[in-house]
Amino acid sequence: MAKFIVEQSGPLQGDVAVSGSKNAVLPILAATLMTEGKSEINDVPYLRDVDVMCRILRSMGASVTEDWKTHTITVDMDRVKAEEVPYELVKRMRASIFVMGPLLAKTGKARIALPGGCSIGDRPIDLHNKGMRSLGARIDTELGVVEATASQLKGALIYLDFPSVGATENIMMAATLAKGLTVIENAAEEPEIVDLANFLNKMGARIKGAGTDTIRIEGVEKLHGAKHTVIPDRIETGTFMVAAAITRGDILIRNCVPDHVKPVIAKLMECGATVNDEVEGLRVRGDIKQLIATDIKTMPYPGFPTDMQALFMALLSTVDGASAVIETVFENRFMHAAELSRMGANIKVDGRTAVVPGKNPLIGAQVISTDLRAGAALVLAGLVAKGKTEISEIYHIERGYDSFMEKLVSLGAKITREED
């Protein structure tokens, strides 16, 4: 197992380019299972999760070529040769559930074990199953395995009890090959859903309303291959924005979409950071004014993203005043609070609310990356902590950030990677 050794580094300065979105590319790759022919996906981030999804596609019969010099993946799908995803791949990544909709739509059958991933709270696939049942599928669950079968999916009106991103995407993919019209109400509105809909439409799908709470999908008989460039990763964008603020630095963030990070911009400015939308990207400075406390509450998009909560908590531990952090999306997403407290943050958690005192001097310590975003938050905290911080289980971080250490080092961070 590898670990990061992070030293107090001073203000980060320079420019950095954001990679393609992890949360956009995974369902896009899964969607290629429904095509006939070759698809080319560009600006793909080099991540462990992407590698797992490519292995899943190969296990289904796809020919997959990865060119990491150009960050391009080519998927050639002749016909699906398997209907069950190998368990050793499913257990490593929750996003493996994305193959359910495409497999069911393409072959009439999908068999998949309940997926793994970060332990940030209960994330059942009930809404995925509800959507597939509404489309006419039979769903059987036994011993942790979900089996879906359907001779022909049929369009339906589907209301989601919660605007789940994964369920919206899975249902949308399955509905592209269903007979008739499907309407998803209370759909998730994230930019990654819009990106997936754009890719599916390029393949011949007929989808309208992606990015709103009502999506309409008119089923088609077949899809063809397409070429697509993945949107920039908004959570990586937010991560480097917080990196500039927490180190009181000055960073120009290239290849980003400011509209996708509006809540992060707003909260950073409430703290006293300066954020400017320039021609070449977003410039974030934490060195102009004294940073102060603010409260955050995570919400589905376009609210403050739950994936930014841990990173913001690290920042709030370094500013003047006490802050409240309320987590409404996942019930178990405060595990990083204990790790930050090991470093002197002294955060108090009560249910879904955490109180961050602020301005407690952070001290280097041995901490554990409990999940993807928690790991990134600990790295940023380590950059301003006195002494050295040793972060273990960094495979979580490497699941979701392309060249994270290298990008931070290019900005002046003192980080090394060691094999334990």
The domains of the chain are located at: 2-19+232-419, 22-229
Sequence-separated (6 or more) residues with CB below 8 Å from residue 135: 150, 153, 154, 155, 156, 158, 171, 174, 175, 178, 182
pLDDT surpasses 70 at 115? no
For residues 206 and 101, what is the distance between their CA atoms, to the nearest angstrom? 16
Select the more confidently predicted residue: 84 or 68: 68
Select the more confidently predicted residue: 79 or 106: 106
pLDDT surpasses 70 at 318? yes
Q: What percent of the chain has pLDDT over 90?
A: 87
Which range is least confidently modeled, 13-27, 94-108, 213-227, 291-305? 94-108
pLDDT of residue 122: 43
pLDDT of residue 54: 96
Q: For the chain, what is the mean pLDDT? A: 94
Distance, first Cα to last Cα, the chain: 5
Q: Any idea which architecture 22-229 has in CATH?
A: Alpha-beta prism (3.65)
Average pLDDT over residues 145-161: 95
pLDDT surpasses 80 at 143? no
User: Which of 121-125, 137-141, 142-146, 237-241 has the largest mean confidence?
Assistant: 237-241
| Helix, coil or strand: residue 61 | coil
Query: Is 226 within 8 Å of 202 (Cβ atoms)?
Result: yes
The CATH label, of 3.65.10.10, 1.10.3720.10, 3.40.30.10, 3.40.50.150, for the domain at 2-19+232-419 is 3.65.10.10
pLDDT of residue 90: 82
Helices (H), 19-125: 22-31, 48-59, 87-90, 100-107
b (16+ CB within 10 A) / e for 246-259: bbbbbbbbebbebe
For residues 411 and 414, what is the distance between their CA atoms, to the nearest angstrom? 9
Per the omega criterion (within 30 degrees of 0), is the bond before 11 cis? no
Average pLDDT over residues 73-100: 86
pLDDT of residue 160: 96
pLDDT in tens, 355-380: 999 998 999 999 999 999 999 999 99
Same fold for the pair 2-19+232-419 and 22-229: yes
Average pLDDT over residues 137-157: 92
For residues 382 and 5, what is the distance between their CA atoms, to the nearest angstrom? 9
DSSP string computed for 109-170: EEEEEPP----SS----HHHHHHHHHTT-EEEEETTEEEEE-SS-B--EEE-SS--HHHHHH
**98, 155, 173 from 134: Cα distances, Å:** 17, 8, 14
pLDDT surpasses 70 at 48? yes
Query: Is 212 within 8 Å of 245 (Cβ atoms)?
Result: no
* Residue corresponding to tokens 């952090």: 325
Q: Which residues are the active-site residues?
A: 118
